[in-house]
Amino acid sequence: MHAQGAHLFAIDVNQEALDTLQKECEGSKIICVNLLDWNATRTAVESISETMDCLVNNAGIGAEATFMKIQPDTFDNVIGVNVKAIVNVTQVVAKRMIESGRGGSIVNVSSLVCRLNNSSNYYRLHEI
């Protein structure tokens, strides 16, 4: 989308990854924030002054534990990034899309890494 002239805003907790993206996609705007922090994330997204026509929710993390061994704090982080952050960011962006009268598109991207046999996140029945 950036190559086609879209204005790109990227949010990540990893400043180094954001810096690399900014070099690769000249003119992109980067925001470093921890998606687990509801209020900081909301403030960061609300600080974007441009009209948004498209949102791509692409953040996601996995757990380095099998189903029976996952700990509550790890599970909270997974749900926090993979579910709560999507709701939080989407609420802000969707509200602005509606208020603009132009609407927009919201795309939620997920991963199929759990289907890979070599993935540490692949829960085979004998590991449960």
| 6 — pLDDT class (breaks 50, 70, 90) | confident
Contact predicate 64/109, CB 8 Å: no
Rounded CA-CA distance 88/83 in Å is: 9
pLDDT at 12: 92
Tell me what the mean pLDDT of segment 5-26 comes to: 90
The mean pLDDT of the chain is 85
pLDDT at 122: 43
Percent helix / strand / coil, the chain, rounded to 5: 45, 10, 45
| 115 — pLDDT class (breaks 50, 70, 90) | low
pLDDT at 7: 83
pLDDT at 113: 58
Rounded CA-CA distance 90/26 in Å is: 25
pLDDT at 97 over 70: yes
pLDDT at 124: 43
User: Which residue, 36, 38, 33, is CA-closest to 9?
Assistant: 33
